């Protein structure tokens, strides 16, 4: 798993922050990395002013600049010792990234959520979120201020939180989260923390305690089954928690951010990544604004591993 990693770059320092994480994953998995830059086609308004005869010249110049930039990144040393290819394509960024990754049979996209676009403008319509919404392969979406990008994280076991809702769809994220935690934690063991959000007792009445107990039983069963299914695989330490919330998405974000949860968090055991599927209890349908995964994507400041 994770044998071919795609890293889209746009020339910005923010986007390049994905490189050390991609490098750690590649080294642990003996994977190939493809650095990709997308050239946006000139806007139609611009072309009316200069005429289409200059378009090939403009695109050739842009492609040369992009290749020069990517070759400079390769020579920077961040990916030293890793098989690297560079790729320049023309098109609208999100669509071009997904098409290139699919054509080259990539099995993981690693990208930062903020690139050349100003932070305040990076919202629902952003390149990164469009990629996440429509990708058929797992996407590791990073944030520039996340703990995973710190120097401390490079020398410590990585802890991935996997929110589950009782569905097989949600459990799909487990194997990908395990591989991610193992690769980023090497040579130490990775850590998985399974959590389930239960509706607040004020809304469920006397059934709340019963649902909490069933959730604990479910999570412990998932852990047991996962350990049996992955017997002989790299060791992963697993823990779990059940949290009562008024809203699942807000609860997931809060659980990842809050230190000292009594159920399963000890001092210093931070969550580095949230891993979840784009489909949960609702089944395989297109994301809709307001869904749990969509709202976590909007609100979380942690890196997200999104699995279709």
Same domain, 241 and 103: no
Q: What is the mean pLDDT of the chain?
A: 83
**Is 147 within the bounds of a domain?**
no
**HSE toward the beta carbon, residue 126, CA cutoff 13 A:** 20
234 or 59, higher pLDDT: 59
Contacting residues for 231 by C-beta, under 8 A, at least 6 apart: none
Same domain, 28 and 60: yes
Are 8 and 109 a contacting pair, CB within 8 Å?
Answer: yes
Structure confidence at residue 110 (pLDDT) = 96
Are 165 and 190 a contacting pair, CB within 8 Å?
Answer: no
SS3 49: helix
111 or 293, higher pLDDT: 111
Contacting residues for 190 by C-beta, under 8 A, at least 6 apart: 157, 158, 159, 160, 178, 180, 181, 182, 183, 184, 234, 236, 237
Same domain, 248 and 178: yes
Structure confidence at residue 206 (pLDDT) = 60
Same domain, 161 and 135: no
Q: Residue 247's domain is classified under what CATH number?
A: 3.40.50.620
Structure confidence at residue 18 (pLDDT) = 93
> For residue 121, with 0-12 CB atoms within 10 Å meaning exposed, 13-18 middle and 19 or more buried, which class applies?
exposed
Same domain, 135 and 183: no
Residues belonging to the chain? 308
Write out pLDDT tens, residues 233-257: 667 899 999 999 989 999 999 999 8
Structure confidence at residue 152 (pLDDT) = 61
**Is 149 within the bounds of a domain?**
no
Q: Which of 109, 142, 175 is the last residue of a domain?
A: 142
**Is 148 within the bounds of a domain?**
no
Write out pLDDT tens, residues 252-281: 999 998 754 444 444 447 899 999 988 655
For tokens 């990708």, name the residue.
135
The alpha carbon of residue 172 and the mean position of all alpha carbons in its chain are separated, in whole angstroms, by 14
Same domain, 55 and 179: no
Contacting residues for 151 by C-beta, under 8 A, at least 6 apart: none
Are 141 and 127 a contacting pair, CB within 8 Å?
Answer: no
**Is 227 within the bounds of a domain?**
yes
Same domain, 256 and 301: yes
What is the band of 204 on the pLDDT scale with cuts at 50, 70, 90?
low
206 or 160, higher pLDDT: 160
Structure confidence at residue 156 (pLDDT) = 79
Tokens of 283: 């089944």
- Domain count within the chain: 2
- With helix as H, strand as E and coil as C, how does 171-217 read? HCHHHHHHHHHHHHHCCCCEEEEEEEEEECHHHHHHHHHHHHHHHHH
Given a cut of 50, whether residue 150 has pLDDT beyond it is yes
Same domain, 219 and 104: no
Q: Quote the domain boundaries for residue 77.
A: 4-142
Closest CA to 113 of 129, 92, 99, 125: 129
Are 109 and 137 a contacting pair, CB within 8 Å?
Answer: yes
Same domain, 163 and 247: yes
**Is 77 within the bounds of a domain?**
yes
**Is 198 within the bounds of a domain?**
yes
Same domain, 164 and 102: no
**Is 250 within the bounds of a domain?**
yes
Are 306 and 276 a contacting pair, CB within 8 Å?
Answer: yes
Same domain, 257 and 200: yes
Same domain, 129 and 175: no
Q: Taking the alpha carbons of 191, 227, 253, 207 in that order, is the dihedral positive or negative?
A: negative
* Strand positions, DSSP E, the chain: 4-8, 32-39, 84-90, 108-112, 139-142, 159-163, 190-199, 236-245, 273-277, 304-307
- The C-alpha atoms of residue 247 and residue 203 are separated, in whole angstroms, by 11
**Is 20 within the bounds of a domain?**
yes
5 or 124, higher pLDDT: 5
């Amino acid at each position: 798993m994770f044998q071919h990693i795609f890293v889209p770059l746009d020339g910005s320092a923010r986007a390049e922050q994905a490189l050390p994480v991609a490098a750690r994953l590649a080294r642990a998995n003996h994977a190939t990395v493809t650095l990709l830059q997308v050239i946006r086609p000139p806007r139609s308004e611009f072309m009316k002013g200069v005429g289409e005869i200059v378009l090939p010249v403009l695109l050739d110049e842009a492609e040369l600049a992009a290749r020069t930039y990517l070759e400079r990144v390769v020579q920077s040393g961040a990916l030293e010792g890793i098989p690297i290819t560079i790729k320049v394509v023309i098109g609208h960024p999100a669509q071009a990234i997904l098409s290139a990754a699919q054509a080259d049979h990539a099995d993981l996209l690693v990208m930062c959520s903020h690139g050349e676009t100003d932070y305040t403008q990076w919202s629902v319509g952003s390149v990164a979120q469009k990629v996440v919404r429509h990708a058929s392969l797992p996407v590791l979406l990073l944030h520039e201020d996340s703990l995973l990008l710190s120097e401390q994280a490079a020398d410590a076991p990585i802890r991935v939180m996997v929110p589950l809702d009782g569905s097989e769809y949600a459990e799909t994220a487990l194997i990908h989260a395990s591989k991610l935690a193992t690769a980023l934690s090497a040579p130490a063991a990775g850590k998985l923390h399974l959590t389930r959000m239960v509706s607040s007792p004020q809304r469920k009445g006397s059934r709340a305690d019963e649902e909490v107990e069933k959730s604990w039983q479910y999570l412990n069963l998932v852990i047991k089954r996962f350990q049996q299914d992955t017997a002989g695989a790299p060791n992963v330490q697993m823990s779990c928690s059940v949290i009562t919330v008024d809203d699942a998405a807000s609860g997931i974000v809060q659980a990842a951010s809050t230190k000292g949860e009594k159920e399963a968090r000890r001092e210093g055991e931070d969550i580095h990544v949230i891993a979840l599927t784009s489909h949960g209890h609702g089944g395989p349908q297109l994301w809709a604004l307001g869904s749990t995964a969509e709202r976590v994507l909007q609100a979380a400041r942690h890196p997200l591993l999104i699995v279709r």
